[in-house]
Amino acid sequence: MTDDEDLPIRGLAELETPVSGTFLQQFRRRVYRRTATAQLAYFSWSLPGAILAEFFSILVHLFAVVDGRKGRSK
């Protein structure tokens, strides 16, 4: 690869125009909305599994206490 390939084409550089502020605001809003939706979908999928694992952990702990392995609490 030569240095000439890294330089922009002069004709395209002259066509560059600044982007309006409202376009950037709309674009950011869309990105934030999609990010929030993706996070909500992830949490709604993974949170029930985490809650189920925690309930299972509590049950295991309770059975360990009832069986006497964690002291004599019968």
pLDDT of the chain along its 74 residues, tens only? 556 666 767 777 778 788 888 999 999 999 999 999 999 999 999 999 999 999 999 998 888 777 766 555 44
Q: How far apart are CA 50 and CA 41, in angstroms?
A: 15
Sign of the dihedral through C-alpha 23, 28, 31, 37? negative
23: Cα separation from own chain's centroid: 25
Q: What is the pTM of this model?
A: 0.49
